[in-house]
């Protein structure tokens, strides 16, 4: 495991390299550390930008990240097809293992994430969703995975601006959990942040973790 300074330098390099979500990477890391998240699940891995931010955060909290990816590409409509995802996933695995030396903090699962939710046991402190962003899939993911997120836990969803169809599923989930907080960052394709069902005064809020846009 690299020392903290080197890990943060890797994170800074990724955050400063233009991508579809580079502007959110430091925030992902800060939420993991600020919430002391132990059990982290990522749905959709691809190039591994969010994965690295989450895993670096987990190395600081002593947590663990489970990344779930179906291993197939998607087009702009969200239709699944063959794509160079295996190469991306292999590069991500090599980077985490060889460059970051953080493989002990990460598990990659190649499965349909909705089906895998039935197998996954335990609660979740932070759930990050970055899959095909459709209303139907987001609805299913929030229903199957969202119920595993603890009260006061985080649910983050990428591409809320680029794929507004998923926002209906987000708002419906919030309606079903009226004590939740929600904020959306509009930059870099959008990042929606939910704190689920805040019930206790000592639980983190969006303001205490500096998540407000």
**Top-tier CATH class for 4-195:** alpha beta
d(CA 148, CA 117): 9
Domain ranges of the chain: 4-195
Residues 168-190 have a mean pLDDT of 94
Average pLDDT, the chain: 90
pTM of the entire structure? 0.90
pLDDT digits over 54-110, tens only?
999 999 999 999 999 988 754 444 444 445 567 888 889 999 999 999 999 999 999
pLDDT interval class at 202 (50, 70, 90): low
Q: What was the pLDDT predicted at 34?
A: 96
Q: Tell me which of 23-37, 134-148, 150-164, 191-205 is least confident.
A: 191-205
């Amino acid at each position: 495991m690299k020392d903290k300074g080197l890990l943060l330098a890797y994170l800074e390099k990724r955050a400063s390299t233009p991508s579809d979500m580079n502007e959110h990477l430091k925030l992902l890391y800060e939420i993991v550390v600020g919430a002391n998240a132990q059990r982290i699940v990522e749905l959709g891995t691809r190039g591994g930008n969010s994965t690295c931010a989450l895993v670096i955060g987990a190395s600081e909290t002593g947590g663990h990240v489970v990344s779930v990816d179906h291993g197939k590409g998607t087009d702009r409509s969200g239709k699944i097809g063959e794509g160079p995802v295996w190469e991306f996933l292999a590069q991500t695995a090599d980077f985490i293992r060889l460059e970051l030396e953080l493989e002990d903090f990460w598990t990659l699962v190649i499965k349909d994430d909705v089906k895998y939710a039935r197998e996954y046991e335990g609660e979740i402190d932070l759930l990050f969703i970055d899959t095909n962003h459709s209303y139907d899939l987001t609805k299913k993911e929030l229903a199957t995975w969202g119920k595993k997120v603890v009260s006061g836990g985080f649910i983050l969803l990428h591409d809320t601006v680029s794929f507004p169809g998923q926002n209906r599923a987000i708002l419906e989930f919030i309606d079903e959990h009226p004590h939740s907080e929600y904020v959306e960052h509009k930059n870099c394709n959008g990042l929606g942040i939910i704190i689920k069902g805040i019930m206790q005064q000592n639980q983190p809020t969006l303001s205490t973790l500096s998540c407000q846009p």
